[in-house]
């Protein structure tokens, strides 16, 4: 006898009703679907079982019995208990994964006041170290998964968006002193559903020769059947300078310093105007006074005359007198010097805002997600900003029961104004630090104040005068079709396109040093990469006897990328009104070029699962790359992993506290092929000329054996869930060993080449990762969740070419047995306090056959560096490793609280035990020339201030006190209150009245507080970036700070509306 | 599948020198090898004068500071860059010398091939001369590098052997070099190079005879106005000058000029050099001013450094004559230089005072050729460095072998003092 049953189906996620849910009687073909309000009616036998199934939700079976009303709540198939992770060419239940995978969900990413996905990942996952290279809006970011595995190839992970291996990195062709662009910014963080990070070889091997640095799988939001949901988000706020200050000395202090430097170098003058102590250098000059000498020295346009006594003295030029800077008068009365605080001029409170609107919905046949967003950020340093507009449409359509198709497409347009910074004398922050404080912002005639004896640009001019616009357009899309062939067997094909076009326009007016001699200079570039790929794969899922289940994947990928660029530049402009290359009379450069690569791959994966207890996975991939030498075209990358879910064993059922316990182990190989496209070929290069006739020059030695780098990873891990998974612990230990590192083997330059790319090096990373998350309090009104992760990674360079250490950057040192990113330099012993001390050191050196201990001109107040090898003299051999830029550990701690409508998230991130080379101080405390100095130099050594660690001031620094020594190597550890959000969701009873489902308002602070002993502006630095300096500098010269643009503190206020 | 993997470079070629057009392009490449800022594009001219105090370091480059202080470290980037660039140029010469003779192409005559090889040999001789005067014993590499193996580790050859090779290359080149060849190798350029080498070798009789051959060619003379040598290309005084264009520029003026003139104020003439000139000397302003009138003054980098000029030939000859005791002839030659500079004849009594004569020739050589890459070497080879330079140590005569070279080639010994 059939019973008439009715009821409603709702979603467990938000309680909304679900339309189109299939309700079928188990074992029969009879069934119905729910109406638009989620209700259904069906007649079924009392003994039958009803199955409720719906796309994106777990099916539920309910026995009818005597019930006439059955209301069902379906659980989304991506809820916590049975969380699914994206693993590349498929998905997998997280609790059945045999490897470590970190997932970051959209909640953690959305509405952050950051430009890109990479910045949003910072601190969110164990094993992932993210460092923003600078505070430049839209600038480059360094991401290291479990330490760097390479030296010359890229150390950045492979990013795959909706199955598309995308273009990343910087497309900028112009130099901005390390301010690279970042193609990852083309993905709007609010469009992302999840980020799954494949860290170990077991999971990543499916990406073969590109997986050695891990794989970041980004999945954008998909449509969802049911009522269409519209989300609108808006935030606005401002960024400001945070953290440390560099305090410049005043103009008067600078004047005294300049005079002291000249006298210490060239001699001491008595009141009669005679030279009493011969100085180093010219030796014959005598001056009427020290002020005369200093004024002569620091004004390039003053002349010298000879007085009646035959002594040289200074004749000030009319121009320098008019400027009133560094005149004899100023040197006689330093208090009259101008005093400018350049940093105050160039830092600003910078607005930031973002609007985005999205809609998602659909029915059981077709689902959609569409979104649009506008992000607009100004930099905290004058002249820099970034603006991005993204539109996205994701569609899926079920053509028939067996076939579905869909597309995910986005188009991004971004406009970026960058300014020179970092290692650059034309930069903004760099000049604001390097320009001496006794120079005025503007001269009396209105022109920019400049230092006649330095080429340092006026900081204000550097910020406001150049025109530097980068415009990027990016189409990223995939279309797919999927067909179910027989039970459990599916075939899927994806066709992907990633097209980046990147255009730069630069104009430097003649008001800038960089273009004054050229009468204005302009450069225009246009570059684009077209990257197409296709993946075609079969998946097969089958269970036998409810105990054995297998899932298998096998496929083939093809990918090809072509890059083309043009560049043109000109000088000699008719004024500064027209900024385009066309106006320049002298066309100085015109070039175009291109490059390409191709990759063919076959891969497979097999999972076997015995009763959910014993899990085994095998993966292999074989790649052929156009980049590799003729003798080594194909590489194979296998992995195997096993796991035991002890919690599934019967004996564990007596321990109810343990809800999940999994032990896992894996072993596998992955590759790194991110090298130059034609590194294996012997080449004659073009692009050079003599007398305007084209030339060919030998440019590269061949190496037909060239191949990928191979990283072998072994890992053991433990995943524990306690108290119904309220407390989860994931712990893992890994050992990564990289062979065949591609290194530029240094060869004697007498060959005419300096290096040849060879597979030589070896490197290892050992590490331990721990992630803990806990639902501390789970009340009706109050909840408190905590998550914590920490990573300990030890990197070691095992083998490099000939074992010969190589310097990188300013003081980075690539050497066997050291970490990648080690620093090397001299060690300060003390400051020489007297001429006797210097003489004694020199006498000892002479006794051992050396000319001097340091140099002949070493004098009291100069630094005595340690004679580390004890040979009697200090030379380049007396340097040692002074620490490493890689942290001993890093991680984060997040606390989430909700109380009724309020939510509070406090996210702190930390890095410990890394060293930073503060190369800025090499200049700002260098006292060797005319650069701006910080207040540290006020404590410089003088005969009356001897108890100090700052050496004497002497022009040109003949003793090279400012050489890289432990003086400039600082502890870079920091703890940063990275993000704090306080939100309030209005009660539904209020919002529903105005037809809005949900209203949340919030205030957010990014980089709120930083605790560090580091003396520079920001401990999160990386002056050497892959975009501007090439991979090897970026990989090896880590943690160098040279006039780097600091991260802003950003305060935003926002609203989230759901309709 | 193969289509995807079959990628070729678009801005380079995989093949070697195989026909007339690639041979000519490779010869252009050999000249281009000189143009680097690490070589004739800046450092060739400025470093010797920085080492010897004609120039003063006013900028920020620590490698220049080391050179100005003559406390040069073995990893000095200028020194390393110069060494590397000179050997890079030699590789380009070696490829031509090996492959051009065997090219078989109709219309590519033996004469054309011989001239290309001769130009390459001339350039190789010039390159080795610069190596030997800066570093002393250096590795002699005479074959092109085609694969990376142990054979690249070459020991230093003695200075005498390097000079032997220089002479051999010049002598092999001379019969095939043209008498005119704008911006490129000519017979007279090869003779001038050989004369300069002979002067360094103190083979004074050879210097006189080589200089006489150049004079006898009648192709060259002193231009009456000193500044015209640098203002005008291809003057009668110029024996070999290197061409630069805006698209292929040097950084000479950029390093010397003040920022107001668009330079970077890195190096400037020392006041001691300025005071060495008489105020009426027409060379004074052009050599020592801080502003737009210098030997190098085109801020866009198109100055054409004159590598060999007739005035040097005369001074070489004067010095050699004085060394040979032919004082009267030496003085006559010297006065040609003095008169062109507007300072009149030297005292006739110098004929009877060989020491004073040699000193005066030396002084005029300094004043005439300042900023052209001579002074430091002249001080060293004439033994005047110890008395002229402060804090002089004889080990400063040679630059250090770059550390990277010794690291990559254990066979290389270091020069004393480093």
Contact B35 A516 (CB under 8 A): no
Q: Beta strand pairing status for A60-63 and A49-53?
A: antiparallel
Query: What is residue A442's DSSP assignment?
Result: B
Residue of A nearest to B16 (CA): A684
**How far is it, in rounded angstroms, from Cα A657 to Cα A643?**
21
**Min distance A822 CA to chain B CA atoms (Å):** 18
Contact A929 B59 (CB under 8 A): yes
Query: What is residue A134's DSSP assignment?
Result: -
Looking at chain B from residue 319 to 378, which residues have their Cβ under 8 Å from any Cβ of chain A? none
Selecting from A698, A758, A876 the residue whose C-beta is nearest the C-beta of B92 gives: A698
pLDDT band, very low/low/confident/very high, at A280 (cuts 50, 70, 90): very low
Q: Does A804 touch chain B (CB under 8 A)?
A: yes
pLDDT tens readout for residues A3-56: 888 888 888 766 777 877 888 888 887 888 888 788 898 888 888 889 888 877
Q: Does A461 touch chain B (CB under 8 A)?
A: no
pLDDT tens readout for residues A941-967: 999 999 999 999 998 888 999 999 999
Where are the domains positioned within chain B?
Answer: 18-145+160-240+307-389, 244-303
**How far is it, in rounded angstroms, from Cα A676 to Cα A563?**
13
Q: Using a CB-CB distance cutoff of 8 angstroms, which residues of chain A are in contact with residue B273?
A: none
Average pLDDT over residues A864-875: 92
Q: How far is CA A900 from the centre of its chain?
A: 37
Q: Which of the residue ranges A159-163, A398-402, A423-427, A632-636 would you say has the lowest mean pLDDT?
A: A423-427
Residue of A nearest to B304 (CA): A691
Q: SS3 sequence, A559-596?
A: EEEEEEEEEEEEECCCCCCCCCHHHCCEEEEEEEEEEE
Looking at chain B from residue 281 to 310, which residues have their Cβ under 8 Å from any Cβ of chain A? 290, 299-300
Looking at chain A from residue 391 to 450, which residues have their Cβ under 8 Å from any Cβ of chain B? 425, 450
* The residue count for chain B: 418
Q: Which residues lie below 8 Å from residue A679, measured CB to CB, with a gap of 6+?
A: A627, A700, A703, A706, A742, A757
pLDDT band, very low/low/confident/very high, at A183 (cuts 50, 70, 90): confident
Res B98 pLDDT > 90: yes
pLDDT tens readout for residues A982-994: 999 999 888 888 8
- CB-CB neighbours of A880 under 10 Å: 15
Query: Do the Cβ atoms of B26 and A695 come closer than 8 Å?
Result: yes
Res B37 pLDDT > 60: yes
Name the 3-class secondary structure at A143: strand
Average pLDDT over residues A475-497: 93
Q: Which of A356, A39, A6, A313 is nearest to A191 (CA)?
A: A356
* pLDDT score for A151: 87
Q: Does B387 touch chain A (CB under 8 A)?
A: no
Q: Does A301 touch chain B (CB under 8 A)?
A: yes
Average pLDDT over residues A571-584: 93
Q: Beta strand pairing status for A755-778 and A586-610?
A: unpaired
Q: Does B264 touch chain A (CB under 8 A)?
A: yes
Angle between helices B204-216 and B310-323 (to 10 degrees): 140
Selecting from B8, B87, B402 the residue whose C-beta is nearest the C-beta of A752 gives: B87
| Tokens at B71, concatenated | 């406390």
**How far is it, in rounded angstroms, from Cα A100 to Cα A664?**
9
Q: Does B393 touch chain A (CB under 8 A)?
A: yes
DSSP string, B341-399: TTS-PPPGGGGG-HHHHHHHHHHHHHHHHTTSS-HHHHHHHTT-HHHHSTT--GGGGSP
Selecting from A588, A593, A703 the residue whose C-beta is nearest the C-beta of B10 gives: A593
Which among A457, A688, A742, A751 is the top mutation candidate for probing chain B, defined by the most B β-carbons within 10 Å of its own β-carbon?
Answer: A751
**How far is it, in rounded angstroms, from Cα A948 to Cα B147?**
55
**How far is it, in rounded angstroms, from Cα B318 to Cα B314?**
6
Selecting from A695, A751, A753 the residue whose C-beta is nearest the C-beta of B29 gives: A695
Looking at chain B from residue 5 to 34, which residues have their Cβ under 8 Å from any Cβ of chain A? 5-17, 22, 24-29, 31-33
DSSP bridge partners of A729: A720, A772
Selecting from B25, B84, B270 the residue whose C-beta is nearest the C-beta of A694 gives: B25
Contact A282 B94 (CB under 8 A): no
* pLDDT score for A851: 86
- Output the pTM of the full model: 0.82
**How far is it, in rounded angstroms, from Cα A55 to Cα A303?**
86
pLDDT band, very low/low/confident/very high, at A880 (cuts 50, 70, 90): very high
Q: Using a CB-CB distance cutoff of 8 angstroms, which residues of chain B are in contact with residue A753?
A: 88, 91, 145, 148
Q: Positive or negative, the Cα torsion across A873, A874, A876, A877?
A: positive
Average pLDDT over residues A897-904: 92
Query: Do the Cβ atoms of A28 and A42 come closer than 8 Å?
Result: no
pLDDT band, very low/low/confident/very high, at A739 (cuts 50, 70, 90): very high
Q: Using a CB-CB distance cutoff of 8 angstroms, which residues of chain B are in contact with residue A851?
A: 393, 395, 417
Average pLDDT over residues B200-211: 97
Q: Using a CB-CB distance cutoff of 8 angstroms, which residues of chain B are in contact with residue A690?
A: 28-29, 31-32, 35, 183, 243, 248
Higher pLDDT, B122 or A383: B122
Q: Using a CB-CB distance cutoff of 8 angstroms, which residues of chain A are in contact with residue B257?
A: 517
- The four Cα atoms A977, A979, A980, A986 give a dihedral, to 10 degrees, of -170
Q: Using a CB-CB distance cutoff of 8 angstroms, which residues of chain A are in contact with residue B7?
A: 596-598, 626, 677-678
Backbone dihedral angles phi then psi of residue A828, each to the nearest 5 degrees: -75, 130
| Tokens at A265, concatenated | 């170098």
**Min distance A918 CA to chain B CA atoms (Å):** 17
* pLDDT score for A513: 84
DSSP bridge partners of A277: A268
- Integer Rg of chain B from CA: 22
* pLDDT score for B291: 64
Average pLDDT over residues A236-247: 88
Q: Using a CB-CB distance cutoff of 8 angstroms, which residues of chain A are in contact with residue B290?
A: 300-301
**How far is it, in rounded angstroms, from Cα A743 to Cα A202?**
26
**How far is it, in rounded angstroms, from Cα A897 to Cα A785?**
7
Name the 3-class secondary structure at A77: coil
Selecting from A282, A559, A689 the residue whose C-beta is nearest the C-beta of B272 gives: A282
Q: How many contacts does A have with B, using Cβ atoms within 8 A? A: 274
DSSP string, A609-668: EETTTEEEEEEEEEEEETTS-GGG-EEEEEEEEEEEEGGGSGGGGG-TTEEEEEEEEEEE
Query: What is residue A449's DSSP assignment?
Result: P
* pLDDT score for A80: 45
Contact B73 A875 (CB under 8 A): yes
Share of chain A above pLDDT 90, in %: 53
Q: Does B265 touch chain A (CB under 8 A)?
A: yes
Average pLDDT over residues A1006-1033: 85
Write down the number of H helices and E strands in chain B. 19, 7
pLDDT band, very low/low/confident/very high, at A81 (cuts 50, 70, 90): very low
- Give the residue ranges of DSSP H helices in A808-864: 835-847
Q: Does A688 touch chain B (CB under 8 A)?
A: yes
Selecting from B7, B22, B60 the residue whose C-beta is nearest the C-beta of A696 gives: B22
Contact B12 A700 (CB under 8 A): yes
Query: Do the Cβ atoms of A517 and B263 come closer than 8 Å?
Result: yes
- Give the residue ranges of DSSP H helices in A289-381: 290-298, 318-323, 328-332, 342-346
**How far is it, in rounded angstroms, from Cα A816 to Cα B394?**
37
Name the 3-class secondary structure at B336: helix
What's the fold here for domain B18-145+160-240+307-389? Answer: 1.25.40
Domains of chain A: 2-77 (2.60.40.1120), 81-165+172-181+184-225 (2.170.130.10), 251-338 (no CATH)
| Tokens at A944, concatenated | 């009356």
Kindly list the distances between the CA atom of residue A663 and the CA atoms of A98, A613, A733, in Å, as whole numbers in the listed order.
9, 10, 12
pLDDT band, very low/low/confident/very high, at A508 (cuts 50, 70, 90): very high
Name the 3-class secondary structure at A9: strand
Residue of A nearest to B140 (CA): A750
Please tell me which of A291-300, A453-462, A765-774, B271-280 the model is most confident about, judged by mean pLDDT: A765-774
Query: Do the Cβ atoms of A149 and A763 come closer than 8 Å?
Result: yes
Name the 3-class secondary structure at A937: helix
Q: Using a CB-CB distance cutoff of 8 angstroms, which residues of chain B are in contact with residue A696?
A: 13, 17, 22, 25-26, 28-29
Res A441 pLDDT > 90: yes
**How far is it, in rounded angstroms, from Cα A608 to Cα A618?**
9
Q: Does B182 touch chain A (CB under 8 A)?
A: yes
Structure-token match 């094909």, residue found:
A493
**How far is it, in rounded angstroms, from Cα A722 to Cα B179?**
93
Q: Which residues lie below 8 Å from residue A712, measured CB to CB, with a gap of 6+?
A: A201, A667, A668, A669, A736, A737, A738, A739
Q: Does A586 touch chain B (CB under 8 A)?
A: yes
Q: Which of A761, A740, A882 is nearest to A821 (CA)?
A: A882
Q: Does A846 touch chain B (CB under 8 A)?
A: no
Q: Does A589 touch chain B (CB under 8 A)?
A: yes
Higher pLDDT, B341 or B257: B341
**How far is it, in rounded angstroms, from Cα A965 to Cα A338?**
33
**Min distance A1009 CA to chain B CA atoms (Å):** 36
Name the 3-class secondary structure at A302: coil
């Amino acid at each position: 006898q059939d019973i008439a049953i009715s009821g409603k189906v709702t979603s467990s996620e938000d309680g909304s009703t679900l339309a189109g849910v299939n309700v079928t009687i188990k074992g029969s073909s009879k069934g119905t679907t729910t109406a638009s309000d989620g209700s259904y009616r069906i007649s079924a036998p009392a003994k039958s079982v009803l199955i409720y199934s719906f796309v994106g939700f777990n099916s539920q079976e309910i026995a009818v019995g005597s019930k006439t009303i059955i209301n069902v709540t379906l659980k989304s198939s991506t809820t916590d208990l049975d969380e699914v992770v994206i693993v590349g060419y498929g998905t997998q239940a997280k609790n059945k994964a045999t490897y470590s995978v970190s997932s970051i969900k959209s909640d953690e990413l959305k509405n952050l006041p950051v430009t890109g996905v990479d910045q949003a990942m910072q601190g969110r996952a164990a094993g992932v170290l993210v460092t923003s290279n600078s505070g430049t809006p839209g600038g480059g970011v360094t991401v290291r998964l479990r330490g760097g595995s390479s030296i010359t190839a890229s150390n950045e992970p492979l990013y795959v968006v909706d199955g598309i291996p995308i273009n990343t990195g910087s497309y900028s062709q112009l130099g901005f002193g390390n301010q690279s662009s970042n193609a990852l910014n083309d993905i709007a963080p609010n469009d992302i559903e999840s980020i799954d990070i494949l860290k170990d070889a077991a999971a990543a091997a499916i990406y073969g020769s590109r997986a050695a640095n891990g794989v970041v799988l980004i999945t954008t939001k998909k449509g969802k059947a049911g009522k269409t949901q519209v989300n609108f988000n808006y935030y606005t706020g401002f960024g400001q300078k945070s953290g440390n200050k560099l305090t410049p000395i005043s103009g008067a202090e600078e004047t005294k310093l300049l005079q002291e430097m000249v006298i210490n170098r060239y001699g001491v003058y008595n009141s009669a105007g005679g030279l009493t102590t011969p100085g180093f250098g010219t030796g014959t000059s005598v001056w009427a006074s020290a002020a005369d000498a200093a004024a002569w020295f620091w004004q390039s346009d003053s002349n010298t005359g000879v007085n009646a006594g035959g002594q040289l003295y200074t004749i000030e030029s009319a121009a320098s007198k008019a400027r009133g800077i560094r005149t004899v008068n100023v040197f006689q009365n330093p208090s009259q010097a101008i005093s400018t605080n350049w940093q105050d001029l160039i830092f600003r409170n910078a607005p930031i805002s973002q609007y985005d609107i999205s809609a998602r919905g659909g029915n059981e046949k077709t689902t959609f997600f569409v979104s649009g967003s506008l992000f607009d950020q100004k930099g905290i340093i004058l002249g820099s900003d970034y603006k991005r507009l993204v539109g996205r449409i994701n569609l899926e359509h079920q053509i028939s029961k067996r076939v579905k198709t869909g597309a995910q497409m986005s188009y991004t347009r971004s406009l970026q104004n960058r300014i020179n910074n970092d290692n650059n004398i034309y930069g903004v922050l760099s000049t604001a630090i390097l320009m001496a404080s006794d120079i005025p912002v503007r001269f009396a005639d209105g022109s920019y104040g400049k230092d006649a004896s330095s080429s340092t640009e006026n900081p204000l001019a550097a910020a406001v005068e150049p025109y530097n616009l980068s415009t990027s357009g990016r189409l990223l899309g995939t279309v797919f079709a999927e067909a179910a062939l027989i039970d459990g067997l599916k075939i899927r094909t994806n066709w992907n396109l990633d097209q980046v076009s990147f255009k730069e326009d630069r104009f430097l007016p003649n008001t800038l040093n960089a273009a004054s001699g050229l009468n204005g200079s302009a450069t225009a570039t246009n570059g684009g990469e077209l990257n197409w790929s296709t993946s075609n794969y079969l998946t097969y899922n089958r269970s036998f006897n409810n105990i054995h289940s297998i899932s298998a994947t096998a496929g083939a990928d093809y990918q090809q990328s072509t890059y083309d660029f043009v560049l043109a530049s000109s000088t000699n402009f008719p004024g500064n009104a027209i900024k385009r290359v066309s106006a320049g009379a002298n066309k100085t450069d015109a070039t175009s070029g291109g490059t390409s690569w191709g990759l063919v791959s076959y891969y497979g994966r097999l999972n076997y699962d015995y009763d959910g207890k014993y899990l085994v996975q095998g993966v292999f991939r074989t790649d052929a790359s156009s980049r590799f030498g003729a003798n080594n075209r194909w590489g194979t990358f296998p992995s195997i992993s096993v796991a035991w879910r002890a919690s599934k064993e019967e004996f564990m059922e007596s321990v109810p506290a343990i809800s999940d316990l999994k032990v896992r182990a894996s072993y596998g190989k992955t590759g790194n092929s991110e090298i130059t496209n034609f590194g294996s070929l012997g080449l004659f290069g073009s692009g050079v000329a003599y007398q305007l006739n084209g030339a060919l020059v030998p440019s590269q030695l061949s190496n037909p054996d060239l191949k990928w780098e191979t990283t072998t990873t072994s890992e053991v891990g433990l995943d524990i869930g306690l108290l119904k998974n309220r407390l989860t612990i994931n712990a893992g230990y890994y050992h990564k060993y990289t062979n065949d590192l591609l290194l530029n083997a240094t060869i004697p330059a007498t060959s005419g080449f300096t290096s040849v790319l060879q597979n030589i090096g070896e490197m290892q990373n050992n590490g331990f990762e721990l992630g803990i998350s806990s639902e501390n309090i789970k009340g009706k009104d109050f909840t408190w969740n905590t998550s914590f992760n920490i990573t300990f990674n030890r990197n070691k360079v095992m083998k490099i070419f000939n074992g010969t250490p190589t310097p990188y950057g300013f003081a980075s040192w690539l050497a066997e047995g050291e970490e990648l990113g080690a620093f090397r330099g001299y060690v300060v012993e003390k400051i020489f306090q007297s001429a006797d001390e210097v003489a004694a050191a020199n006498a000892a050196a002479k006794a051992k056959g050396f000319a001097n201990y340091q140099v002949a001109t070493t004098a009291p107040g100069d630094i005595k560096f340690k004679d580390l090898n004890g040979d009697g003299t200090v030379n380049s051999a007396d340097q040692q490793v002074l620490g490493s830029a890689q942290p001993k550990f890093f991680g984060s701690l997040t606390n989430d609280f909700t109380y009724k409508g309020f939510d509070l998230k406090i996210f702190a991130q930390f890095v410990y035990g890394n060293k930073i080379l503060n190369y800025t101080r090499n200049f700002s405390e260098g006292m060797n020339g005319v650069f701006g100095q910080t207040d540290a130099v006020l404590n410089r050594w003088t005969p009356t201030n001897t108890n100090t660690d700052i050496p004497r001031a002497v022009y040109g620094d003949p003793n090279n006190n400012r050489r890289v020594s432990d003086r400039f190597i600082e502890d870079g550890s920091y703890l940063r209150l990275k993000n704090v959000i306080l939100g309030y969701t209005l009660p539904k009873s209020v919002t529903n009245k105005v037809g809005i489902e949900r209203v949340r308002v919030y205030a957010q602070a990014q980089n709120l507080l930083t605790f560090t002993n580091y003396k520079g502006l920001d401990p999160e630095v990386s002056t050497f970036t892959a975009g501007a300096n090439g991979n090897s500098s970026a990989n090896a010269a880590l943690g160098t700070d040279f006039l780097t643009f600091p991260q802003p503190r950003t305060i935003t206020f926002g609203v989230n509306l759901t309709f | 599948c193969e289509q995807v993997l079959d990628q070729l470079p678009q801005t380079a070629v995989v093949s070697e020198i195989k026909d007339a057009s690639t041979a000519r392009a490779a010869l252009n490449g050999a000249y281009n090898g000189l143009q680097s800022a690490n070589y004739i594009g800046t450092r060739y001219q400025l470093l010797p004068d920085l080492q010897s105090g004609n120039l003063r370091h006013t900028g920020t480059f620590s490698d220049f500071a080391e050179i100005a202080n003559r406390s040069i470290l073995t990893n000095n980037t200028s020194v390393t860059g110069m060494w590397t660039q000179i050997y890079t140029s030699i590789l380009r010469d070696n490829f031509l010398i090996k492959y051009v003779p065997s090219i078989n192409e109709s219309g590519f005559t033996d004469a054309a091939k011989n001239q290309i090889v001769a130009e390459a040999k001339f350039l190789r001789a010039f390159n080795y001369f610069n190596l030997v005067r800066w570093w002393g014993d250096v590795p002699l590499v005479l074959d092109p590098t085609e694969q990376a193996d142990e054979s690249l580790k070459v020991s230093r050859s003695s200075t005498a052997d390097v000079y032997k090779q220089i002479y051999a290359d010049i002598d092999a080149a001379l019969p095939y070099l043209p008498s005119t060849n704008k911006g490129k190798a000519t017979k007279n350029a090869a003779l001038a190079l050989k004369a300069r080498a002979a002067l360094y070798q103190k083979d004074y009789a050879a210097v006189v005879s080589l200089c006489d051959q150049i004079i006898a060619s009648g192709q060259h003379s002193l231009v009456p106005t000193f500044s015209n040598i640098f203002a005008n290309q291809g003057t009668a005084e110029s024996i070999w000058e290197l061409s630069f264009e805006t698209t292929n520029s040097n950084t000479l003026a950029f390093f010397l000029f003040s920022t107001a003139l668009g330079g970077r104020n890195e190096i400037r003439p020392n006041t001691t050099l300025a005071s060495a000139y008489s105020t009426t000397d027409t060379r004074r302003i052009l050599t020592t001013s801080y502003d737009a009138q210098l030997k190098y003054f085109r801020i866009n980098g198109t100055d054409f450094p004159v590598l060999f000029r007739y005035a040097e030939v005369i001074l070489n000859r004067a010095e050699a004559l004085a060394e040979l005791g032919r004082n009267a002839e030496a003085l006559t030659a010297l006065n040609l230089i003095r008169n062109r500079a507007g300072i009149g004849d030297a005292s006739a009594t110098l004929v009877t005072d060989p020491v004073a004569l040699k000193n005066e020739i030396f002084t005029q050589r300094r004043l005439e050729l300042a900023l052209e890459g001579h002074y430091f070497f002249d001080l060293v080879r004439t033994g005047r460095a110890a008395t002229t330079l402060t804090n002089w140590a004889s080990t400063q005569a040679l630059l250090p072998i770059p550390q990277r070279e010794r690291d990559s080639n254990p066979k290389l010994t270091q020069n004393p003092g480093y």
